[in-house]
Amino acid sequence: MSLDLKQIVSDFKNGLWAENPIIRLVIGMCPTLAVTNTTENGLAMGLATSFVLVSSEIVISLIKKLIPANVRIPSYILIIATFVTFVDYFLKAFFPGIAASLSIFIPLIVVNCLILGRQEAFASKHSTPRAIADGIGMGLGFTWVLVLLGAIRELFGMGSIFGFTLLGEWYRPMVIMVLPAGAFITLGILVGIMNQISREGK
């Protein structure tokens, strides 16, 4: 089977902007709102989710014909849970601070609608190269929005980014930015800006 490079590139680019999970499809909101109080947490959650997404899409695209239709969802969840467990133990072993910050939200990747949705909508219906491109694109799209959201909230809420102070002692931190309300406000403004950019680009 020949590879359609143009189609693969298109699958990759879709997740970055046109079908971005957060700002376009508005899925995966739980970690988006819960863990983006710092840039580091946003990056860690984005990379963890991307790893699980790409790995599960590869496996499911390879064995999709072997999975009976009536048990496909439980099968997908089992595969996803395997990779989530790997990520959970990896973070606890090598990055205990991040693992403690993300807490229950790493195990909850199993039920992230982005992960399961891409298995059902894409990996189970397309070739492995296309599934890899889709997984990487969606993962990076998810990650860059989490990082941007985390950077904005950390900057205005703490005066720093990745723990490095950017605003001096003169700055009075906006505490609301590191609270749940700050996540809703920042995400709403961000989605509005992105939608305006998309409209102007047409």
Distance CA 139, CA 71 (A): 26
Distance CA 55, CA 176 (A): 36
Task: Name the residue ranges covered by the structural domains of the chain.
Answer: 5-151
Torsion of CA 154, 160, 161, 162, to 10 degrees: -100
Q: Is the CB of residue 91 less than 8 Å from the CB of residue 35?
A: no
pLDDT in tens, 19-58: 999 998 889 888 899 999 999 999 999 999 999 999 999 9
pLDDT in tens, 61-117: 999 999 999 999 999 999 999 999 999 999 999 999 999 999 899 999 998 999 999
pTM > 0.85: yes
